[in-house]
Amino acid sequence: MNSFEEEKELIYLLKSKDLDGFRKIVEVYQEKLLKFILSRISNFSEAEDLLQESFFKIWKNADFFDEKKSTLKTWVYSITKNTITDFLRKRKLNILSFGNLLKLQGKGKIDGSVFENEESLVKEERDLFEALKRLKGDEREIIHLRYFSELSIKEISEVLKMNENTVKTKIKRALEKMKVILEDEA
Amino acid sequence: MKLEENLKNLGEKFKRVDLSDVIIEKISAGERLAKSNENKEGFIKAGEKFSVFLFFVLIVYGTMKFVESGTFNSIVTFVENLDLFDFRIAIGLLSEVILYYFFYILISTIPLFSFLVFKHESRQ
């Protein structure tokens, strides 16, 4: 089955509002979406919660999906992006309302590794991940979308609502920044 | 180019998760809750309509009983003989009407008021 046929099937499953069918959508997108969420949320268990929330929203809004306006893939990513934004906004409000910055800073740290087997990572990969963490949030987000979730430039531009040239420029700049960080580390 | 390849390889080493059971269970629980809330809302709406209906029935019934009562006849007589206007009689009749309606409205509002309390409590 090619990707076009797979997308058609997934849309059909989404529209049929059947939970067994929806499971297939979850299985197809869960890992990629989790990688995307991890670009902004470094706490793994919080990222898992956001993934669940995103799928819940996808299910709830299934009737509003319009295949003429976007592909299922970009729609799913857009919902996840909104979920992340809401979460970050609430967290920011928490900081402002309680002034509990130190506590929340601790919460933002990595809770468990994001890797399957962290010991198996070679030094080069560790350095790469460290360099990635030093990028700004929006740069990290775009790198995650491009290389971890493997979205095309066009798809990224739809998800982030930017034009394709801006996406290309942002990727190029983020990669250059990473190169500089890696060279400095070396 | 090497950096891009390395990033792709790093992406492959992310933790693999399978949350499909948890997600489906959560959605299913959400759907059950939504359905139960829908039923509850349906019941509340029906109850609301019924209590308003009951309120008007009681008011209409009260008015009919009032018309049949002696007080009503006294009012009619009083109006017919306005030229013999007596302030004390007028006050007496007026207080009877107020008392009668106050009492009836109080009784009529009990089901409506009880329902509003129930509605508030059930939505908490």
Q: What is the pLDDT of residues B70-90, one digit of tens each?
A: 777 777 787 777 777 778 888
For chain B, the structural domain boundaries read 50-122
What is each CA distance from A115 to A36, A119, A128, B19, B43, in whole angstroms?
Answer: 14, 9, 13, 16, 51
Output the pTM of the full model: 0.70
For the cut 60, the answer to whether the pLDDT of residue A23 exceeds it is yes
Residue A107 makes CB contacts below 8 A (sequence gap 6+) with A43, A46
**1.10.10.10, 3.90.190.20, 3.40.47.10, 1.10.20.140: which CATH number matches A116-186?**
1.10.10.10
Give the lowest-confidence range in A1-10, A46-55, A99-108.
A99-108
CB contact under 8 A, B13 and A59: no
Comparing C-alpha atoms, which of A141, A144, A147, A133 is closest to residue A178? Answer: A133
pLDDT tens per residue, range A41-58: 888 889 999 999 999 999
| CATH topology for the A1-114 domain | Rna Polymerase Sigma Factor; Chain: A (1.10.1740)
CA-based angle A180:A174:A48, to the nearest 5?
120
Q: Which residue of B has its CA nearest to A60?
A: B27
- Mutation target among A20, A148, A179 for the B interface, most CBs of B within 10 A: A148
For the cut 80, the answer to whether the pLDDT of residue A97 exceeds it is no
What DSSP string runs through A100-167? Answer: -HHHHHHHTS--S-SBS-GGG--HHHHHHHHHHHTS-HHHHHHHIIIIIS---HHHHHHHHT--HHHH
> Of B14, B27, B28, which is closest to A116 when you measure between CB atoms?
B14
Domain with CATH 1.10.1740.10 in chain A: 1-114
What is the band of A107 on the pLDDT scale with cuts at 50, 70, 90? very low
In order along its 124 residues, chain B shows pLDDT tens digits of 688 888 888 888 888 888 999 999 999 998 898 888 888 888 888 888 888 888 888 888 878 877 787 777 777 787 777 777 778 888 888 888 888 777 777 777 887 788 888 877 776 6
> Of A19, A115, A125, which is closest to B28 when you measure between CB atoms?
A19
